[in-house]
Amino acid sequence: LTTQEAFAFLDNVASFAKPIIILTGGEPLLRPDIFEIAAYGKAKGFRMTMAPNGTLITPDKAQQMKEAGIERISISIDGATAASHDAFRQVPGAFDGALRGIGYARRAGLEFQINTSITQQNLDELADIQKLAVNLGAVAHHIFLLVPTGRGKDLAEQAITAQQYEKTLHWFYEQKDLVPLQLKATCAPHYYRILRQRARADGKKVDVQTFGLDAMTRGCLGGIGFCFVSHVGQVQPCGYLELDCGNIREKPFREIWEESEIFRQLRNPSLYQGKCGHCEYLRVCGGCRARAYESTGDYLAPEPLCLYQPRPRQTC
């Protein structure tokens, strides 16, 4: 997309909504106009955020991000040590580069969060990564459960099991009152089922006062409250669910968002199949549609990494 096409996209979105805009990639810092785009979005009233590679952040880049109106950046840390992070990233020096970039961001006054993709390789380090996030001064820690698409296909053999998935999300729930971080489980829709199960067991009401934004959102937002627009203008439910829902070079984004048949199906719980379709947590979880698609070829199929068995349907 050209700079003007990016501006036109932001104009169209601003005509009917004010979502958070995440400038991601690939690598957003490789675009020479990225700060122009960020500043334009900020002027339109969007909360502008960015997901850069920490190793590419310099003092000048950090200052430019701040001046352009970037309100938060996310940096990936996938190991608690240089050895484990570099092995995961397959890039020597990646850990030190990420920490250096975080230091520049802090000095520029940029808010940052740590993102961690969980695999068999780093599952045992998750608690230490979270401690590192606290010590670095992060405002949030977002964990990502592996979706076997794109680079994730190369890591498929490293995916954690459904049992480990469940245990990890229970641990993550317990951390929310123990660490000074905003915690979010991404591509892990089961978390919102577990949150409600644990809250019920603890005698807690799930509302904004007790659980903040977690009480208002749901698990899989692809095509419902979130979408991905590629560098060539293709709109898809998320970065992992590579279904062509339209192209902003051919029609306005609003038209795609409101009229895409794929989006309409994702927004219709009655179309969800298997145990997801009759699960009492469907509207707060929804299962990962990208994992369902990768495992079955059907994005409305049941989430493959779910242990939960829904209550039997009531019959007359």
pLDDT, averaged across the chain = 95
Residue 307 counted as domain residue: no
Residue 305 counted as domain residue: no
Residue 55 counted as domain residue: yes
CATH number at 22 reads 3.20.20.70
Residue 234 counted as domain residue: yes
Residue 273 counted as domain residue: no
Position 168 scores a pLDDT of: 98
H/E segment holding residue 114 = strand 112-118
Residue 302 counted as domain residue: no
Residue 260 counted as domain residue: no
Number of domains comprising the chain: 1
Give the residue numbers spanning the domain of 173: 3-255
Using pLDDT thresholds of 50, 70 and 90, give the confidence band for residue 201.
very high
Using pLDDT thresholds of 50, 70 and 90, give the confidence band for residue 316.
very low
Cβ–Cβ contacts within 10 Å for residue 230, how many? 15
Q: How far apart, in whole angstroms, are the C-alpha atoms of residue 219 and residue 229?
A: 20
Place of tokens 């439910």: 237
Residue 29 counted as domain residue: yes
Cite the DSSP H helix spans in the chain: 3-14, 34-43, 59-68, 82-89, 94-107, 126-136, 162-175, 190-201, 208-211, 253-259, 261-266, 274-277, 289-296
pLDDT digits (tens, 9 = 90+) for 3-22: 999 999 999 999 999 999 99
pLDDT digits (tens, 9 = 90+) for 243-282: 999 999 999 999 999 999 999 999 999 999 999 999 999 9
pLDDT of 109 above 80:
yes
Region 152-178: mean pLDDT is 90
Query: Residue 20 in contact with residue 140, Cβ under 8 Å?
Result: no
pLDDT of 315 above 50:
no
pLDDT of 153 above 70:
no
pLDDT digits (tens, 9 = 90+) for 56-82: 999 999 999 999 999 999 999 999 999
